[in-house]
Amino acid sequence: MDIFLQQILNGLVLGSVYALVALGYTMVYGILGLINFAHGEVVMVGALTALSVTRALMAANLGLPAPLIALMALLVAIVVCMTLGFTIERIAYRPLRRAPRLAPLITAIGVSILLQTLAMLIWGRRYHTVPPIFPPTPHAIAGATITNVQILIIVVSALIMAGLLMLVHFTKLGRAMRATAENPTVAGLMGVNINRIISATFIIGSALAAVAGVLVSTNYGIAHYYMGFILGLKAFTAAVLGGIGNLGGAMLGGLLLGLIESLGAGYIGDLTGGFLGSHYQDVFAFLVLILVLVFRPTGLLGERVSERA
């Protein structure tokens, strides 16, 4: 049973990160109907920026306490990613708002390639080891182990997601965001400054991406310029699984995908009598996605949207 519990815990940690990134995809999709392909790269930039700041602060030897260094690195990463998200939307998406629907997808791919290459030039091709600010100390829970870093990841993600839900449901900005998602034209007529709301959406999504980047690189202890692509892909899958455009769906989808992956990796060998090994975990995740979409074509929590004319 402890293996089962262990896989559940691993899945929750992985899933929280997916959920944070998936929220960025789903918020943009809800408002613009656009797959922000460059979002994964924002996660990568967040992780690598935080890494550089941490290294610089540790090298400066100011005698700062470890949590303060971590906090400062996180804040710098968040600010950098917010600026990046704002700029991406301004340059690559805003001019194309009335263009054919696939045009912004191509610019998004262009931005993605550009960011990846720039990151490679700045940080190099190698894998960076993240300085151990919090040395992982394992805790035993009913036969399974969880490190303090993993607990931190789950708690931080839960807090941030709760904060985001509060923002979207109880503030003026949140109401404007929901109105824009519902119908941009009418929201504009009601006095909502649509461009500002869209910028705000990108900025918030990028801040979440920065946090996710820092968390995931702390968890695995490594970061490199290519990490954003596959993470972004998984998170986007999670967002679709939950029903894209739906905040609760992104969270649910992220957690579910994390659980499916880690349980799949742990049990797929036993289930198929050793025929398929754990390297089929991605197949497993995508198969679940396809099955869910076959029976619920709009995702788990997605509403049935009317056909676009």
Partner 1 sequence: MKAAWLTGLARLQHDPRGKWMGMVLAAIVLALLPFALEASVGRTWVRIIDLALLYVMLALGLNIVVGFAGLLDLGYIAFYAVGAYVYALLASPHFGIHLPWWTLLPIGAVIAAFFGVVLGAPTLRLRGDYLAIVTLGFGEIIRIFLTNLNAPINITNGPQGVNMIDPIAIDGLSFAKVNTLVGVPFPGTHLYYYLFLLLAALVIFVCIRLEDSRIGRAWAAIREDEIAAQAMGINTRNVKLLAFAMGASFGGIAGGLFSSLQGFVSPESFALWESITVLCMVVLGGMGHVAGVVLGAILLATLPELLRHTAGPVQQELFGKVILDPESLRMLLFGLALILVMLLRPAGLWPSPTRRRELTSARAPGTV
Please give the Cα distance from 5 to 287 (Å, whole number): 23
Residue whose CB is less far from partner 1, 193 or 272: 272
The helix/strand/coil state of 222 is: strand
First to last CA, the chain: 52
**From residue 123 to residue 162, what is the string marking binding to partner 1 with x (rule CB under 8 A)?**
----------------------------------------
CA-nearest of 66, 45, 196, 198 to 131 is 66
Strands (DSSP E) found in 85-236: 128-129, 138-141, 144-147, 222-223
**CB neighbours of residue 5 within 10 Å:** 15
User: Does the CA dihedral 39-96-164-86 come out positive or negative?
Assistant: positive
Binding-site member from 5, 105, 156, 222 for partner 1 (CB under 8 A) = 105
Residue whose CB is less far from partner 1, 120 or 190: 120
Least distance CB 287 / partner 1 (angstroms):
7
**Interacting positions 217-236 with partner 1 (CB under 8 A):** 233, 236
Q: Is 300 in the site for partner 1 (CB under 8 A)?
A: no
Q: Is 121 in the site for partner 1 (CB under 8 A)?
A: yes
Least distance CB 245 / partner 1 (angstroms):
10
Position 115, amino acid: L
Q: Is 107 in the site for partner 1 (CB under 8 A)?
A: yes
Q: What is the DSSP letter of 98?
A: T
Burial 159-180 (b: 16+ CB within 10 A, else e): ebbeebeeebeeeeebebbbbb
**From residue 43 to residue 82, what is the string marking binding to partner 1 with x (rule CB under 8 A)?**
----------------------------------------
| Candidate segments 76-84, 187-195, 214-222, 278-286, binder of partner 1 by CB under 8 A | 278-286
Q: Is 308 in the site for partner 1 (CB under 8 A)?
A: yes
Contact between residue 278 and residue 214 where contact means Cβ atoms under 8 Å apart: no
**From residue 256 to residue 275, what is the string marking binding to partner 1 with x (rule CB under 8 A)?**
------------------xx
Binding-site member from 67, 171, 286, 303 for partner 1 (CB under 8 A) = 286
At 127, list the tokens: 């894998």
**Biggest CA-to-CA distance, the chain:** 62
In this structure, the dihedral spanned by the alpha carbons of residues 87, 91, 92 and 95, taken in order and rounded to 10 degrees, is 130
Q: How many CA atoms lie within 13 A of 181 on its CB side?
A: 20
Number of residues that bind partner 1 (CB under 8 A): 54
Least distance CB 25 / partner 1 (angstroms):
10
Q: Is 112 in the site for partner 1 (CB under 8 A)?
A: yes
Binding-site member from 3, 120, 155, 186 for partner 1 (CB under 8 A) = 120
Please name the helix (run of DSSP H) or strand (run of DSSP E) that holds residue 90, with its range, or none.
none
Contact between residue 36 and residue 25 where contact means Cβ atoms under 8 Å apart: yes
Task: Give the total residue count for the chain.
Answer: 309
Q: Is 114 in the site for partner 1 (CB under 8 A)?
A: yes
Contact residues toward partner 1 (CB under 8 A) are 29, 33, 35, 91-92, 95-96, 98-107, 109-114, 116-118, 120-121, 185, 233, 236-237, 240, 244, 274-277, 279-280, 282-283, 286-287, 289-290, 293-294, 297-299, 307-309
